[in-house]
Amino acid sequence: MVHFDDFDGITEPRRPQSLPFFLRIARTRRARTATLTSLIVFLVLLISWKTSKPPARKIAASGYHIPPESPIVFAPELIDEAPILDGSNPQKIMNVTGPHGPKKTNPSFHLLIPASHSNSLLCKTLLSSFVLGYPPPTLVNYGKAFKGEGWDNGTHAGKIRGVYDYLKEGKDMKEHDLVLIIDGFDIWFQLPPEIMIKRYHKLLVEANERLRIRYGMVTHEKDGGFGAKERIPRYTQKVIFGADKICWPNGAEDPACVAVPFSTLPKDTYGPATDKDPESFLTRPRFLNSGTVIGQVSDVRAIYEYAVKKVEEDGRGAVGDQFVFAEIFGEQEFQRETKRQASQGTGGRWLDWVSNTLGVSESPLATNHTINNMTTVPGQNYEFGLGLDYGSELFQTMTHSWDDIEFIRYNDSDALTEIQEKHPSLSSVPFSLPSDLQRVEDPFWFSSPGNHSNESQDVILLPFSEKLDISGEGPRWEEVPLATNVFADSIPSLIHLNGDKSILDTLWPSTWFHPYARALLRRYVRSPQGPIAAHAAALGGLSWWDTRGGRGGVWTDRETWMSWGEVCRKTESDVFADGKGTWMKEEGSIRTENSFGAVVIDDEHFEDE
């Protein structure tokens, strides 16, 4: 055990050395007074600059290059207006995760779901991704039997290995593609992928500004610059995991629980009891949850590679993947803070105050808690650009968060008033539909309920049915119930129902798409958007899409295609709960599906209604 004040052998200095260095060099009281006065004036001007609103400059949501020593002006309303990718000059689109990364022109968006088998829970996850237009998921380890030792038969260790192998060897996985990895049995999507992608980029901008203020800049040799130097941020964020209110199953004094940053949410988010609730219901999320992660393939793969090493060489996988990834995050933050404190010397506490005044979270290592010291391995990299979604803009984890969530129809003023009365501390919060959601297509944007066919004349894409399909445009975003974190003032892109599983069945009908689930799935299969986007991406178009295409089904990590009917047959009563029968046999017809979800009708077996 080691006390925070004793990291790396740094002990409390003698009293004469406790002054910051810029006051110690002033040898007289008058000189010190003048120095301190000048510093206060400087800080007042600096804080005024931070709180002012200078003219905003537009930041491309998909790829941006931040001048090394220029202040970042974050303008979320301009991020919302930016396209997912700037197509004006593809050759100039830069690596989003670093200020000097390689160029990219045609990234794809991949969805990976570790799942060794199918059930109604997996099919609910798949359905929610389908009706919102996410790329066809790839199921990792599907059909694989695990017979390992331990409480989980080795499934969690196999989950890490399976995802890593696919990130490394998948034929369609390119270094700068974007990949989203989610748990397979307790996650529901509720917003479209373009919202998630833009918010991911926005969160990187915000996080990198905080990191620049807190950790400063370093001199770096330019790539191909013949010895030329440039100043770049010491750390940049690249990968985002979900944030949880509790730290588990890691030890309470491990770096995963004690060394990680405090939440960026306001310190009074839950009122005076914020972060003081022993049961953590009023705790701001700050701990890593491994069930959701998004980032570029190369960055996410590096984290999984280290996780595989921990599991297979260091024996850390027996407790589960949650333990391993939380430990990686704790190690990264422990290293960052101890190095920062050592480099600052005796002025560290003063600079902590300055950092906190400028809106950057204080150091968790400055508290009086004790921590289990980590064993540093020579040559091991602990820096992965890993951070969390503290505001639940991408991922809403539900552990101890049930009271944070309300299903809101944003055009219902009476309901909004009731919610504000239910949470008195939120009475001044103007609930409204966020601007990014106002600028995307409405929930029922998929193709009109007519028939569509591809180039092959013998394939028909789900003929319209008066009994099964929806006529008209359907409700708008402000008219459907959206799960909203009323304390973070965010509508998350997906809901991760970790923790208590007893609520899964009762909460499913609350989702906005559930009343129309079967019709929306049919409309999704009918829509030509998937093949069109896949074709554009294959030809070099700027489309965030899995280039393999596909509609109404999933890929496996063995590169085989499985239709919805193959994966989710006999789950209709749980998933649709509409009493209309088996998928594709609702009206007596017997249908099969080709490799991309298109439906081939067998007229010989068609029965009259």
Whether residue 310 lies inside any domain: the answer is: no
Interhelix angle 321-344/348-357, rounded to 10 degrees, is: 110
Whether residue 461 lies inside any domain: the answer is: yes
Whether residue 63 lies inside any domain: the answer is: no
pLDDT tens-digit readout, 534-558: 444 455 444 556 667 677 889 999 9
**What mean pLDDT comes out for the span 510-530?**
85
pLDDT (0 to 100) of residue 189: 98
pLDDT (0 to 100) of residue 280: 95
pLDDT (0 to 100) of residue 96: 31
Whether residue 584 lies inside any domain: the answer is: yes
Count of domains for the chain: 1
Q: DSSP readout, 9-60? A: G-PPPPGGG-S-HHHHT--SHHHHHHHHHHHHHHHHHHHHHHHS-PPP----
**Distance between CA 570 and CA 582 in Å, rounded?**
7
pLDDT (0 to 100) of residue 149: 64
Q: Which of 251, 451, 215, 239 is nearest to 355 (CA)?
A: 215
Is the pLDDT assigned to residue 64 strictly greater than 70?
no
pLDDT (0 to 100) of residue 76: 35
User: Between the ranges 279-293, 427-441, 579-593, where is the mean pLDDT highest?
Assistant: 279-293
Amino acid at 375: T
The enclosing H or E element of 526 equals helix 517-526
pLDDT (0 to 100) of residue 363: 67
Is the pLDDT assigned to residue 596 strictly greater than 90?
no
445 contacts: CB under 8 Å, gap ≥ 6:
133
pLDDT (0 to 100) of residue 506: 87
pLDDT (0 to 100) of residue 560: 92
Question: 331 or 45: which carries more pLDDT confidence?
Answer: 331
Amino acid at 565: G
> Out of 5-14, 23-32, 127-136, 288-297, which region has the weakest mean confidence (pLDDT)?
5-14
Q: For the CA atoms of 229, 232, 234, 236, what is the dihedral angle to 10 degrees?
A: -140
Q: DSSP readout, 340-368? A: HHHHHGGGHHHHHHHHHHTTPPPPGGGSS
pLDDT band at 72 (very low <50, low <70, confident <90, very high): very low
Q: Which of 573, 564, 571 is nearest to 592 (CA)?
A: 564
pLDDT (0 to 100) of residue 609: 30
> Out of 119-128, 228-237, 476-485, 587-596, which region has the weakest mean confidence (pLDDT)?
587-596
Whether residue 58 lies inside any domain: the answer is: no
Percent of the chain with pLDDT strictly greater than 70: 66
Is the pLDDT assigned to residue 351 strictly greater than 70?
no
Contact by Cβ (8 Å): 97, 296: yes
> Out of 180-189, 389-398, 500-509, 510-519, which region has the weakest mean confidence (pLDDT)?
500-509
Is the pLDDT assigned to residue 41 strictly greater than 80?
no
pLDDT band at 319 (very low <50, low <70, confident <90, very high): confident
Is the pLDDT assigned to residue 490 strictly greater than 90?
yes
Is the pLDDT assigned to residue 28 strictly greater than 60?
no
User: Between the ranges 99-103, 351-355, 471-475, 552-556, where is the mean pLDDT highest?
Assistant: 552-556
**What mean pLDDT comes out for the span 319-325?**
90
**What mean pLDDT comes out for the span 222-249?**
89
Amino acid at 535: H
**What mean pLDDT comes out for the span 417-446?**
83
Contact by Cβ (8 Å): 118, 84: no
Indicate the burial class of 397 (C-beta count within 10 angstroms; 0-12, 13-18, 19 or more).
buried
Contact by Cβ (8 Å): 284, 391: no
What residues pair up with 600 in beta bridges, in sequence order? Answer: 592
**Distance between CA 1 and CA 330 in Å, rounded?**
16
Q: Which pTM was predicted?
A: 0.79
> Out of 144-153, 362-371, 430-439, 447-456, which region has the weakest mean confidence (pLDDT)?
447-456
Whether residue 479 lies inside any domain: the answer is: no
pLDDT band at 488 (very low <50, low <70, confident <90, very high): very high
What is the pLDDT of the chain when averaged over all its residues? 76
Give the structural domain span for 565.
106-186+449-473+508-609
Q: DSSP readout, 431-449? A: ----HHHHTS--TT-SPPS
**Angstrom distances, CA of residue 5 to CA of 181, 344, 354, 364, 461:** 38, 14, 20, 12, 67
pLDDT (0 to 100) of residue 31: 56
pLDDT band at 509 (very low <50, low <70, confident <90, very high): very high
**What mean pLDDT comes out for the span 357-367?**
58
pLDDT (0 to 100) of residue 152: 57
DSSP 8-state code for residue 402: G
What residues pair up with 386 in beta bridges, in sequence order? Answer: 239
Whether residue 594 lies inside any domain: the answer is: yes
| Cis-peptide into 249, omega within 30 deg | yes
Whether residue 381 lies inside any domain: the answer is: no
pLDDT tens-digit readout, 153-177: 666 778 999 999 999 998 889 999 9
Question: 503 or 66: which carries more pLDDT confidence?
Answer: 503
